[in-house]
Amino acid sequence: MGFNRAPSETPDRPIKRDTLFRTVALYRPYRRRLGGVIASVLINAGFGIVPPLLVATIIDDVIPNGDTGKLFTIAGIMIGVTVASGGFNLLQAHLNTRVGLSVMRDLRGRLYSHLQRQPVSFFAGTRTGEIQSRLTNDVTNTQLVLTDTISTIVSNAAIVIASVIAMLIISWQLSLVALGVTPIFVFFTVKVGRRRRRLTRQAQRAVAELTASAGETLSVSGVMLAKTFGREREQLDRFDATNEDLTRVSVRQQMTGRGFFVLVQTFFGMAPAIVWAFGGWLLFQDRGGISTGDIVAFTAIQTRLLFPLAGLLNRGVDVTSALALFERIFEYLDLDPEIKDPVDPAPVDRATVKGEVAFRNVGFQYDAARGIEDSFGLRDVTFTAAAGRLTALVGPSGSGKTTIGYLMSRLYDVDCGSVSIDDVDLRRMALRNLSTLVSVVSQDPFLFHASIADNLRYGDPSATDDNLVRAAKAAQIYDTISALPDGFDTIVGERGYRLSGGERQRVAIARAVLANPRVLLLDEATSSLDTKSERMVQRALGELMEGRTTVAIAHRLSTIIAADQILVVLNGRIVDRGTFNELVSRSGLFRQLYEEQFTTIPTDLPMLDGIPPDGPVVPEQGQARDTGRVPEPAD
């Protein structure tokens, strides 16, 4: 269960053999449209050789005989063929564009859907900018290949084949002169394509690095960090260096093979003159059985051949280099999600779920998949969080509390043992069903750059405006929202930075209220708040916790005094458990944690029938204060 190695870090290697076949397979859902494209291409290719052949007839037969009727007939045929060819060109362009963009849409959708199924470990071990680059830049850069390649290759190939046949019919001697050096061009095209593919990989890595750097440094958090530490200059220098690397590689990529293609175009430009010279010599010597019309028709067909042949050579290089992009995309599509839905999910009736959470002999290591035996995790964790009750997890930072929360949400799977809700193993539940049972309120809740209403409806997309109001009131945030100029339509900014920490927390609680979970996980939900915000959030949490199974990961012990059960976690194990009064009266880790937070330890604590009237005394600038408390949940 380790962090997946980012595919961008993999070394250069030859393109897999099946990459081309997988790319072609992307067109399978659009076979009929693609058939229409190919049919249009072939018809156009046939139309293309008709005018030159008719020109030969006009020069050798019609003009010498002065046959006006035949001349007008042939001219009419040539005009009709040209008009029909234009119509088929338009049809081909429409079908080809629809097919190519549809394939690109499908590829982007498949990649996004597949990434959503990846475990948290993948995203923890891969830079967000790298993921975004593959999803946007890599897919977008395949557009030329997806939208134009098949039609271009088929069209050019058909034109080349038809033209070569027509040229051979006219004169095999002239055909040898015109086509003799083509195999040499093909050989160098393959060499250029391989080099371009390697440079394409390097360029896309540089793009990914640039995207990741910009994403990190231009986020709200990154900008604030740079400004407060005065590191704007260093970040700009780093960006400039990456930008320069990208420019250098891109120049090499674009210029690779340019000299070769200039040579090809130069030869193709010279070819008609060579054909005229050689054909004229054959005509003068009365060899080869050719006429003036044959030479004119041959050069016309040859001219029509040169551009498609050059296009095939160029597109061959483009396809070869584009395979590097598809390889990067397929690398992500080939990732096997570690967290999967079961083949036959257990039925979940949300209305009857009580919400009892049970950990049984749970063992887990973050690096187990990499064979690291001593990696951090959990060992033999067993406990039951009773339905409708509050269970708290306490312990030093890094002891394993959040890991227990991850397993309870099935963000990771246990290596041994089981985690269940109402005796149903989480691995037997469909992930979507599990998400309707468990909601998380974390220390740093995530809000989208959208309105408050949109962020709230993330908990329940079908929520009405009245539902939003009730949830906001339950979360103690309604008055704050009402005071805003745009109310629920207020845009909260990236990650909700236009709101204070306490306001973001209460919006997240309102979102959880709308989700209406049976099991609630609170991951240090108040540890970073000031006293006033903490009390308001605690009151909101009290509303949310009523009648729900709640597991609270707590840093401040004052927030879990009323817990029905407190589990003390150390080094991935539960080393003690009991009520607040039971644990504080013992010597051990919990008492040590208590003494670190409270200056005065009451000597006569009542047994959960209540707590000291003013709460435990906590130092604050030499003065004692009331820390507030979470109310007891309803039975």
3-state SS assignment for residue 7: helix
Lowest mean pLDDT among 162-176, 383-397, 457-471: 162-176
For residue 421, the model assigns a pLDDT of 93
The Cα–Cα gap between 217 and 433 comes to 37
- Fold equal for 16-333 and 357-625: no
Nearest by Cα to 581 from 550, 554, 553, 560: 560
Which residue bears the tokens 């745009």? Answer: 486
Q: What is the pLDDT of residues 186-231, one digit of tens each?
A: 666 666 666 766 777 777 677 777 776 776 666 656 665 566 556 6
Structure token pair of residue 162: 């038809």
For residue 24, pLDDT beyond 50:
yes
Nearest by Cα to 1 from 346, 332, 406: 406
3-state SS assignment for residue 465: helix
Q: Is the dihedral of CA 495, 498, 501, 506 positive or negative?
A: negative
The partner residues of 385 in beta bridges, in order of sequence, read: 357
Q: Which residue has the higher pLDDT, 234 or 628?
A: 234
Structure token pair of residue 216: 């990190």
Mean pLDDT of 499-511: 85
Nearest by Cα to 421 from 405, 398, 444, 438: 438
- Quick one: three-class SS letters along 313-335? HHHHHHHHHHHHHHHHHHHHHCC
3-state SS assignment for residue 574: strand
Contact by Cβ (8 Å): 421, 437: yes
Q: Is 3.20.10.10 the CATH classification of the domain at 16-333?
A: no
Phi and psi dihedrals of 81, rounded to 5?
A: -60, -40
Mind giving me the DSSP string for 129-175?
A: HHHHHIIIIIHHHTHHIIIIIHHHHHHHHHHHHHHHHHHHHH-HHHH
Structure token pair of residue 575: 């080393």
Per this entry, what is the length of the chain?
635
Mean pLDDT of 163-186: 72
The Cα–Cα gap between 182 and 302 comes to 13
Q: Are strands 390-394 and 565-570 parallel, antiparallel or unpaired?
A: parallel
> What CA–CA distances, in Å, run from 438 to 298, 433, 518?
76, 9, 6
The Cα–Cα gap between 56 and 51 comes to 9
Nearest by Cα to 131 from 144, 118, 146: 118
Mean pLDDT of 123-129: 76
3-state SS assignment for residue 6: coil
Phi and psi dihedrals of 478, rounded to 5?
A: -65, -45
Mean pLDDT of 513-520: 88
For residue 623, pLDDT beyond 60:
no
Domain 357-625: assigned CATH number? 3.40.50.300
The Cα–Cα gap between 537 and 505 comes to 7
Residue 424: Cβ within 10 Å count: 19
Contact by Cβ (8 Å): 541, 525: yes
The Cα–Cα gap between 455 and 632 comes to 29
Q: Which residue has the higher pLDDT, 96 or 186?
A: 96
Portion of the chain with pLDDT greater than 70, in percent: 73
For residue 15, the model assigns a pLDDT of 52
3-state SS assignment for residue 119: coil
For residue 590, pLDDT beyond 80:
yes
Classify residue 93 as left (phi > 0), alpha (psi -120 to 50) or beta: alpha
Mean pLDDT of 55-76: 81
Portion of the chain with pLDDT greater than 90, in percent: 11
The Cα–Cα gap between 469 and 584 comes to 41
Q: Which residue has the higher pLDDT, 183 or 46?
A: 46
3-state SS assignment for residue 417: strand
> Of the segments 200-204, 306-310, 411-415, 557-561, which one has the largest average pLDDT value?
411-415
> What CA–CA distances, in Å, run from 607 to 556, 563, 634?
20, 12, 18
The pLDDT-based confidence of 8 (bands split at 50, 70, 90) is: very low
Mean pLDDT of 360-389: 78
Mean model confidence pLDDT for the chain: 76
Mean pLDDT of 108-122: 84
For residue 218, the model assigns a pLDDT of 64
Mean pLDDT of 138-146: 73
Which residue type does 245 have? D
The Cα–Cα gap between 294 and 57 comes to 9
Distance from chain centroid for Cα 258? 34
- The domain segmentation of the chain, as residue ranges, is 16-333, 357-625
Name the pTM for this structure: 0.67
Mean pLDDT of 491-512: 84
